[in-house]
Amino acid sequence: MKIQKNISLKKYNTFGIDVNAKYFCEITSINDLSEALQLKEYPEIFVISGGSNMLLTKDINALVLHINIKGIQIISETDQNVIIKVMAGENWHNFVLWALEHNFGGIENMSFIPGNVGTSPIQNIGAYGVELKDVFYSCEAIDINNQTIRVFSKFDCNFGYRESFFKREGKGKYIITSVNIKLTKNNHKLNTSYGTIESELTKNNITKPSIKDVSEAVIAIRKSKLPGPKEIGNSGSFFKNPILNYKEFNVFITKNIDAPYYKMSEDEYKIPAGWLIEQCGFKGKRFGDAGVHEKQALVLVNYGDASGKDIIHLAQKIINEVDTKFEITIFPEVNII
Ligand code: EPU
């Protein structure tokens, strides 16, 4: 375990923001992690994993731990299901590809999501009608204070829309070291009703899709709408989709009859923030090196040298205009540091 000094974090965050870590340490095992947490000379630690859901706005005056613990292992199986232990530093999409190779179903709709497996429970990642909670079995996390390993069940994680225990009560207290995921071995339950998956499959003349076909459709849709972080810095959806209650929704939809929405329950209606932002005229707009993606207004982008503060200013401008035009407050989904 080597501690480095003054390291740029530009290549460790998908927004490509160039801030410095005062101290930096690559973590490749749970032992490393436990040892690093016991070092007394660094009072503060900061954890970075895939760096795909954070906006860094300042230098990090702490010991940055880059979680790079690898490993994928089947830990139990029946005729129908398999439980796989995936270490925190595995790239999420590589794990999806691994599952497809083994014909394990359940995560094909979540293909091509940036980030690592260890951070997937924190915000309960999701796409095209499937969320991590649907396949999550349990996870292990190290307690930052006393270095004991604790197992969290699905119940403990208290998942919600882009929410979990780790974003609320557990914030700053644990580092997830592995996630156990339960997938199907046969009779896969395909979920093709969401968004344009169905039409993407039809376009390719696929009538009886396999999990691989669904994954490929999702990848094609995501590639057409979302910028790849390697080409242009971004953090996926920057904002959460706001959820209105029935009364608020009625007021909103009467004034905006063309607005898309998803009914989540009798009293919960999700409005796509991308639509609201586009209606405010931001789609494709650029302010210096900070901008709003031209194909998906929910995604803010760094064209090269934007600072975290440039992105924040743009986000605030968007929040204000959406509020003025629709009387709806939207909130960032990414962690602002
Ligand atoms: N829309 C617009 N303009 C835009 C963007 C979207 O009018 O610029 C409209 C679309 O036409 C569509 C609706 O908004 O009617 C929904 O758009 P989309 O299907 O692209 O999904 P989203 O609600 O904008 C969410 C997730 C994405 C996920 C997709 C697909 C959140 C915050 N975002 O986006 O997640 O991939 O659904 O399931 O829930 C991420 O979290 O990083 C992410 C990309």
Ligand 1 atom showing the smallest separation from residue 162 Cα: 39
Mutation pick for ligand 1 pocket among 96, 200, 275, 331 (CB with most ligand atoms within 8 Å): 275
- Spacing, Cα 236 to ligand 1 middle (Å): 10
Pocket flag, ligand 1, residue 272 (CB < 6 Å): yes
Catalytic residue among 52, 131, 162, 200, which? 162
Pocket flag, ligand 1, residue 128 (CB < 6 Å): yes
- Spacing, Cα 263 to ligand 1 middle (Å): 15
150 is catalytic: no
Q: What DSSP letter does each residue of 272-327 carry, written as one string?
A: -HHHHHHHTT-TT-EETTEEE-SS-TT-EEE-SS--HHHHHHHHHHHHHHHHHHHS
How would you write the pLDDT of the chain (337 residues) with one tens digit per residue? 899 999 999 999 999 999 999 999 999 999 999 999 999 898 799 999 999 999 999 999 999 999 999 999 999 999 999 999 999 999 999 999 999 999 999 999 999 999 999 999 999 999 999 999 999 999 999 999 999 999 999 999 999 999 999 999 999 999 999 999 999 999 999 999 987 999 999 999 999 999 999 999 999 999 999 998 788 999 999 999 999 999 999 999 999 999 999 999 999 999 999 999 999 999 999 999 999 999 999 999 999 999 999 999 999 999 999 999 999 999 999 999 9
Pocket flag, ligand 1, residue 111 (CB < 6 Å): no
SS3 string of 215-228? HHHHHHHHHHHCCC
Pocket flag, ligand 1, residue 275 (CB < 6 Å): yes
Catalytic residue among 120, 138, 237, 307, which? 237
Q: Can you say how many angstroms the Cα of residue 143 is from the centroid of all Cα atoms in its chain?
A: 22
The CA distance from 185 to 6, in Å, is 47
> Radius of gyration of the chain from Cα atoms?
20
Ligand 1 atom showing the smallest separation from residue 53 Cα: 42
Mutation pick for ligand 1 pocket among 93, 110, 222, 237 (CB with most ligand atoms within 8 Å): 237
Q: Can you say how many angstroms the Cα of residue 107 is from the centroid of all Cα atoms in its chain?
A: 14
Pocket flag, ligand 1, residue 296 (CB < 6 Å): yes
Pocket flag, ligand 1, residue 64 (CB < 6 Å): no
- Spacing, Cα 272 to ligand 1 middle (Å): 6
Coil, helix or strand for 291? Answer: strand
Confidence (pLDDT) at 228: 82
Closest residue to atom 29 of ligand 1, CA basis: 127
- Spacing, Cα 42 to ligand 1 middle (Å): 40
Closest residue to atom 10 of ligand 1, CA basis: 275
Confidence (pLDDT) at 156: 98
Ligand 1 atom showing the smallest separation from residue 128 Cα: 38
The secondary structure element, H or E, covering residue 62 is: strand 60-67
pTM: 0.92
Ligand 1 atom showing the smallest separation from residue 109 Cα: 38
The CA distance from 3 to 44, in Å, is 14
Cβ contacts of 32 within 8 Å, gap of 6 or more: 1, 25
Pocket flag, ligand 1, residue 333 (CB < 6 Å): yes
Longest alpha-carbon distance in the chain: 61
Residue 176 phi/psi, 5-degree rounding, is: -70, 130
Confidence (pLDDT) at 194: 86
Confidence (pLDDT) at 113: 93
Closest residue to atom 15 of ligand 1, CA basis: 260
Contact present, 151 and 103 (Cβ < 8 Å): no
